[in-house]
Chains A and B, each alone.
Chain A
């Protein structure tokens, strides 16, 4: 059985945030909602300062705590390992948000638009009209069905993201995890994320 995953090379990320914008363009997320974002970590003191950029998104865990706490079954695991949300079932209890260790989820209290109060004609309608529910990255499930890669992977100028099948030992992602010692964030939580990092 296929299990989609991603590996991100932290040495290559330059925090251009092209992935953040590509995700917004692909899904039409509203102001203040970021399914994909890049976090910064500054260490050391002048003149020996380093900055680490950490692209973050839903980790599509194999044992997702968000799925366990969801009282309606809106959050569910698909056959290909994606953790998806059925917006028709979500009641907006937001228990999944504190359950997620990766700050991957956003609650949509009210619908907002960028320019200025109404959607533009060419705006994507994927999340249009969804109020009172929780949203998150879905690994661009619609693009995957068309054989395309997630928008954040396709747009990255440094190719720091690689996407593929974690259950295929010959896939590029599996090879990289093994050869470059890919690690998962907050491994001690036991969620078994599908997103790996190389440092």
Chain B
């Protein structure tokens, strides 16, 4: 796309590191939240590590990382500022809770767990709002994006938890069936992916161009191969029969869940990267 010709322009600024940040932060926070509900230590640690890796990716992406603390300044209007607060509180509370047995066993434990759960949920939510607040890119500027990102993060978090539960052979009591949750979220994510593209394919010219890039253009391998195949169909194909076989062959399930987790993580990343790269601005003059 020639920058000196009136026409469609694609987003170039939010790319690999931002997609990695959204994926790791969202999935990590979801893993943390679900692990809190199960009181599952390895899940808490894995979630926290993923969140910290996501933060590292974001800081690497900044032009002036040494000034990153200044991002806390405008919580009244900027979703990035709000997200910085959520992430900051999550990281501090997470490190304290995970690495300090005295805090875990203290009388404040319930308060800290509750706060951690709230900030985890907010961390899952805020990247979707960062993207959807960009009104100049119609493909992003829809309430479906925060919902889609919420489902992406929750699905990946659930599958990471499932994999860790299977790998550790843990018998923690879970208030929900992780396998059922994973399946429901996978189907929910699939539904939202299809709805998002379908709705925007009937929207403005720029949105239709975004959909064309994903469905038939240069982003098709990333979108169909990454988001759908690796992100949805491989996990579905593995989780369903693996779950049925778990009672008879635990070792098979462990490997299968691990493949599911890795495939889902890659697929989640590919989906968010595809959405970011498919962001097309409205032409300046019709």
Q: How many A-B residue pairs have CB under 8 A?
A: 123
Q: Is the pair B67, A101 in contact by a Cβ cutoff of 8 Å?
A: no
Q: Which residues of B contact A73 (CB under 8 A)?
A: 73-74
A123-151 interface (Cβ within 8 A of B): 131-134
Of the candidates A54, A67, A68, the one whose C-beta lies within 8 Å of that of B284 is A54
Set of chain A residues within 8 Å of B68, measured between Cβ atoms: 91
CA distance A107 to B7 in the complex (A): 21
* Cβ-neighbour of A185 out of B7, B63, B137, B284 (below 8 A): B284
Shortest CB-to-CB span from B172 to chain A, Å, is 38
Contact A98 B14 (CB under 8 A): yes
Is the beta-carbon distance between A68 and B78 smaller than 8 angstroms? yes
Whether a CB of chain A sits under 8 angstroms from the CB of B285 is yes
Would you call A132 and B6 a contact (CB within 8 A)? Answer: no
Q: Is A161 an interface residue (CB 8 A)?
A: no
A13 to B25, CA, bound (A): 49
**Does B174 interact with chain A (Cβ within 8 Å)?**
no
A12 at the B interface (CB under 8 A): no
Given contacts A65-B136, A70-B78, A100-B136, contact A54 B285 (CB under 8 A): yes
Q: Contact between A91 and B63 (Cβ–Cβ < 8 Å)?
A: yes
- Judged by a CB distance under 8 angstroms, whether A99 is at the interface is yes
- Given contacts A98-B14, A98-B136, A101-B136, A69 and B62 within 8 Å (CB-CB): no
With both chains docked as a complex, state the minimum distance between the C-beta of A189 and any C-beta of chain B, in angstroms. Answer: 6
Mark out the residues of chain A between 78 and 131 whose CB falls within 8 Å of any chain B CB in the assembled complex: 89-95, 97-103, 107-109, 131
Q: Are A101 and B281 in contact (CB under 8 A)?
A: yes
A94-B63 in contact (CB<8A): yes
Q: How far is the CA of A95 from the CA of B62 in the complex (A)?
A: 10
Contact: A133 with B64, CB < 8 Å?
Answer: yes
Q: Would B135 and A101 count as touching, CB distance under 8 A?
A: yes
In the assembled complex, which residues on chain B have CB atoms less than 8 Å from the CB atom of A103?
3, 9, 281, 284
Q: Would you call B74 and A189 a contact (CB within 8 A)?
A: no
Contacts of A102 in B (CB 8 A): 284
The one of A71, A131, A185, A189 that contacts B71, using a Cβ cutoff of 8 Å: A71
Within 8 A of A (CB), among B1-44: 3-7, 9, 11, 13-14
Cβ–Cβ contact A185 & B136, under 8 A = no
How many Å lie between the Cα of A134 and that of B137 in the bound state? Answer: 19
Whether B62 contacts A132 by the Cβ 8 Å rule is yes
Q: For B65, B79, B84, B135, which residue has the most chain A Cβ atoms within 10 angstroms?
A: B135
**Are A72 and B70 in contact (CB-based, < 8 A)?**
yes
Given contacts A65-B135, A101-B135, A101-B281, contact A132 B73 (CB under 8 A): no
Contact B6 A54 (CB under 8 A): yes
Residue on A nearest B63 in the bound complex, by CB: A92
Q: Which of B73, B84, B140: most chain A Cβ within 10 A? A: B73
Flag if B135 contacts A185 (CB, 8 Å).
no
Q: How far is the CA of A71 from the CA of B13 in the complex (A)?
A: 16
